[in-house]
Amino acid sequence: MIEYIRGSIAELTPTYAVIECGGVGYMLCITLPAYTALEGQQQAKLLVHEAIREDAHQLFGFINEQERALFRSLIGVSGVGANTARMILSSIPAPELEMVLVSGDHSRLKNVKGIGIKTAQRIIVDLRDKIKPTGDSLINQPDNTSEVFDEALSALVMLGFARPQSQKVLKKIFDADPTVKVEVAIKKALAMM
């Protein structure tokens, strides 16, 4: 199994990249965010997912583990194939998609070409509890208070509150008072939950 391919970019289009590695050109199907990240680059390292079927052997390339993990989760849903999963990740970047799945926003998924309401609902039902938002999908937080924000968020999560809900509440608190102390932020958040 191929984990990743690193080499020079021989060809790049919005749907695929050809990476030359050891004298061999590997064609990898990519998402639009991957295309944007690779544009103007000479070298690339893409994480790989191999799709082997009777009629085709395809390689899918991803710029980070978050994108590849979401792709693998999506193709695990009944009725969602590799190209549909790639279309979803091209329409909704991975950090946003995690939040869409966790929040249950099936209308956002339904707006993706080729996804109907039933498929969107099935994706959310299947993946809602399996997806844990990563640092990239967290709500933007004030830079100067990130350490205090992180500490308060960790405390709320350890107390059993859901991470997305805790982030929203803390964001409101820190937007109102960026200099708030950890203890005060936790107390205010507990009152707002």
* Same domain flag for 47 and 95: no
Q: How confident is the model at residue 140 (pLDDT cuts 50, 70, 90)?
A: very low
Longest dimension (CA), the chain: 62
Structure tokens at 32: 């639009």
CATH code for the domain in which residue 187 is found: 1.10.8.10
Residue 167 within any structural domain of the chain? yes
Q: Are residues 152 and 172 in the same domain?
A: yes
Please give the pLDDT value at position 114: 82
Q: Which domain holds residue 120?
A: 65-127
38 belongs to a structural domain: yes
Alpha carbons 188 and 177: distance in angstroms, whole number: 11
- DSSP 8-state symbol, 105: -
**If DSSP states are collapsed to H, E and C, what string results for 33-70?**
HHHHHHCCCCEEEEEEEEEECCCCEEEEEECCHHHHHH
CA atoms within 13 Å, Cβ hemisphere of 189: 33
- Mean pLDDT throughout 48-55? 91
Confidence of residue 135 (pLDDT cuts 50, 70, 90): low
Same domain, 31 and 70: no
pLDDT above 70 as % of the chain: 93
Q: Does residue 133 lie within any of the structural domains?
A: no
Q: Is the pLDDT of residue 134 over 80?
A: no
Residue where one domain finishes, among candidates 43, 62, 81:
62
Question: Does residue 150 sit in the same domain as residue 122?
Answer: no
- pLDDT digits over 2-33, tens only? 999 999 999 999 999 999 999 999 999 999 99
Q: What angle do CA 118, 95, 177 make, to 5 degrees?
A: 120
Query: 161 and 122 in one domain?
Result: no
CA atoms lying within 13 Å on the CB side of residue 71:
27
* Residue 132 forms part of a structural domain: no
Give yes or no: residues 85 and 109 share one domain: yes
Q: How far is CA 24 from the centre of its chain?
A: 30
CATH (domain of 21): 2.40.50.140
Number of domains in the chain: 3
30 shares its domain with 70: no
Does 23 fall in a domain?
Answer: yes
What is the model's pTM?
0.68
Residue 73 and residue 47 share a domain: no
